Amino acid sequence: MKRKFLYAIFFLAIVVCAVVGLLPRLRLEHVNNNVAILSDYREVSTLAKNSGLTVDEALKILIDNGVTGLMVSELTGDNIDHGVGQAELKTVRDAERQTEGTVISILPNSPYKEILNKWLRIRFAISDDKTGPVMLTMPPNMLKNSGVIPDIDGLETAKRMGLKIFYRPAPSPGHLSERAAIMLEEVSKLYPVSVFTPSGEYVSGYPDVSKLANAAHKLKIPVAVVEFSRQVGEPQLNALSSPLLIPLHSVTNEEMTARKISRAALRDRLIRAAVERSVRLLLLRTAPPNTSNFLFKDFAEEVRLLGEGLKSHGFNLAWPSPVFANENPGKNFFAAWALCAVFAFALAKYLIRMGLDADKKFLAFFVILNLILTLATFKLNFVARLVGAFTAPLIATEASLMAMDENKNRKIIPAFMFIITGGLALAAFFSVTTYMLRLNTFSGVKLTLVIPPVLVLLHDLRKRIHPESLIEFLSRPPLWGEIALFGVLLAGIGLIIFRSGNVAFIPGFEAKLRVTLEKLLIARPRTREVFIGYPSLLILNYLVAKKYFAQYREIFRIGVALGFSSVINSFCHFHTPFYLILLREFNGLWTGLLVGLVAVALVKFVLLPALKLIRPLIS
C-alpha cells in the first residue's frame, strides 16, 4: 500500500511539472487561430480570362469566398521568354569576341515603365542613370531560372484589391546573390508584402542565405515555411529567420497529376494541414492547365468549401501572424525534471525486470541520476537530445511490458495511463520554438520504432516468457513457421520505418480509410495502434489463457511494442495541437480494443477450428 502511494505521488509530480511546462504551448495554440487561403495571381488571371472575367472581378468573387492573400512571384528569364510580364529579352552577339549578351527592355506600352526600369538597374547592380534597356554580359540561358523583374501586374492587383502579398523572390546569378534581398526591400516599400519565401530549386545566395534572412528581420516580414519542401538552402533560411516564420502547405500541379489527387482530396489535405500540423497559410492552386473542363466557378466553389471546412474546425479566415515572434517558449526546468524522472523510472523498471536487485543503493543511484540528468538536460542541448531520444523508446517498452505482465493480469489501462504520463513529459520539455516549428528534428521517432521490439524480445528470452532462452533458440535449427514470422516481422518493421514521416507512401485504400476516420472521430487514431498494437494485446491474452501457440506468441508481443511505440510517437509531433494528440490516443484505445475483440473472435471461431485439421501446430 505504501509503495502504491509513493508511486501515485511520484507520477502526480511528473504530471504537474509537465503541465507547467506545457502552459506556453497551450496558450499559443489557443490564440493561433487565423488561417489564410492564398491564390496564385498568374493562375487566377489565366482562369479568369478563360471564363470571360477580368482579374478584379474574379478576385472579388474569391475574396467573398475566403481568399485573403495573393501569391506574386519574381519573374525569371524563362517566364519572360514565354510572354509573361512587361519585359522582353533579346540576345546580342559579339562576333569578334565570340560572346553573347542579353538586352532586357521594358515593353514600350507599359504603364509602369519608369519603376520597372529602376528595378532592373537595382536587380542587376547597374549604377547608370539611364531609363532605357539594360545590357548584360551574360547570355539569356543564364537567366532562364534567375529572377529578372517583379511581376508588377500581380503586385498592383493585390494592392488594388486589398489583398496581402505572398512574395516569391527568384534565384540570382552567382555574383548578384544579394540582389534578391535588395529587391525584396524595394518591393515592400510600395506593396503590402506580408510573407515571402524564395522560389526555384535553391535559395538565392546559397550557401550564404543570410541576406534574405537579414531582410526578413529588418522588414519584419515573416518567411513562409513550406511543408515537405526539398529546396536547397531552405532549412538554413528558416533557421536564420526564426521566429519570423509561418508554416505553409501547398500541392503543386505536378504532384496532383502524378499522384492523381482529386480536388476533394486536395481540399481535405489542406484542412488536415491546418488542423493537425498548425499550418496557417494554405495555397490553393487551380487545376493543371490541360484540365479543359475546370472553370473559374469550380475554383471559386472550392475556395468556398475550403473556407467553410476551416470555419467548421474553429478557424478564422484572417491573416495569421508569426506566433512565436511575440512569445518564444524556451526550455522549462520543471519539464526537464519530469522528462528525466520518466527516463530514470523506465530504465530502472526495465533493469529490475531483467533481474537486477532493486536494493536501496540501486534506487539511490537512480534518484541521483535523475537530478544530474535534469541539470544537464536543462543546460546542454546535446544531452537533451540524447535523453529525449532514449526516453521515448523506454516509455514504450515499459508500457508494453506493463500491459503484457502476466503477474498483474495484463493491466491495459494503467499501461495506457503510464504512456500518457510519459508523453506529457516529452511534449512539455520539447514544446519549444525550434521543435514546434520543425527547425530541429526529434531524434527519438526512428529509435522508438526499433528499440522497444528489441528490448521486449531480450526481456522475454531472459525471463523465459518465450519457451526457450536465447542460447537454446540459437543452438537449434529454425522452424519454418518461425522463419516465415520473422520475415513478416522484418518486412513490417522496415515498412513502418520507411513510412515514418513519409506522406507519399500511402496506398489508396488506406488514404480513404484515414479520411473516413477523420470525419467520424475528428482525431484519427494511428493505424499501428488500431490494427497492430491493441489487437495483438487482446489476441495474446486469449492465446495465453487458452495455452495455445506458446512458440509463436512472441510475434504478438512485438506487435504490442510496435503499437505502444506509435502511441508515444504521437506526443513527439510537437507541431500538432496538444488536445488533438490526447483525443487521438483516446480514440486509438477504444477503437483498437474494438478491433482487437473482432480479431479474437476470428481467431476463436475461424482460425482455431481451421487449424484443428492440422493439430501438430497447436501446442
| CATH code of the domain covering residue 268 | 3.20.20.370
| 87 falls within a domain | no
Question: Residue 510: which domain range?
Answer: 2-26+327-617
Instruction: Please provide the DSSP assignment of 272-326 as one string.
Output: HHHHHH---EEE-----TT-TT--HHHHHHHHHHHHHHHHHTT-EES----GGGT
Average of per-residue pLDDT across 255-260: 79
Give the per-residue pLDDT at 504.
46
248 & 340 share domain:
no
288 & 372 share domain:
no
| 84 falls within a domain | no
Q: Of 319, 336, 360, at which residue does a domain stop?
A: 319
604 & 478 share domain:
yes
| 181 falls within a domain | yes
Q: Are 18 and 428 in contact (CB under 8 A)?
A: yes
Average of per-residue pLDDT across 576-580: 93
Q: Encode pLDDT of 143-170 as tens digits.
A: 899 999 999 999 999 999 999 999 999 9
Q: Of 319, 354, 379, at which residue does a domain stop?
A: 319
Q: Are 398 and 349 in contact (CB under 8 A)?
A: yes
Average of per-residue pLDDT across 21-32: 91
Q: Per-residue pLDDT for 617 more than 50?
A: no
Distance (Å, whole) CA 618 – CA 553: 12
Q: Per-residue pLDDT for 115 more than 90?
A: yes
Average of per-residue pLDDT across 487-491: 61
Give the per-residue pLDDT at 356.
87
14 & 66 share domain:
no
338 & 267 share domain:
no
Q: Encode pLDDT of 544-563 as tens digits.
A: 888 887 777 888 999 999 99
Q: Of 319, 343, 369, at which residue does a domain stop?
A: 319
Give the per-residue pLDDT at 411.
84
20 & 43 share domain:
no
Across all residues in the chain, what is the average pLDDT? 87
402 & 302 share domain:
no
Joined together, the cell numbers standing for residue 287 give 487545376
Give the per-residue pLDDT at 503.
46
361 & 492 share domain:
yes
Q: Per-residue pLDDT for 480 more than 50?
A: yes
Q: Encode pLDDT of 447-456 as tens digits.
A: 898 899 999 9
H/E/C letters for each residue in 360-396? HHHHHHHHHHHHHHHHHHHHCHHHHHHHHHHHHHHHH
20 & 52 share domain:
no
Q: Per-residue pLDDT for 502 more than 50?
A: no
- Count of structural domains, the chain: 2
Give the per-residue pLDDT at 507.
57
| 285 falls within a domain | yes
Task: Find how far residue 504's CA is from the centre of its chain.
Answer: 12
609 & 541 share domain:
yes
Q: What is the CB neighbour count within 10 angstroms for residue 87?
A: 23
Q: What share of the chain in percent tops pLDDT 90?
A: 59
Q: Identify the bridge partners of residue 223 per DSSP, sorted by sequence position.
A: 196, 245
Average of per-residue pLDDT across 527-537: 90
Of 87-101, 102-116, 310-324, 418-432, which gets the smallest average pLDDT? 87-101
| 112 falls within a domain | no
Give the per-residue pLDDT at 18.
96
Between the alpha carbon of residue 238 and those of residues 64, 148, 234, 436, the distances in Å are 33, 24, 6, 13
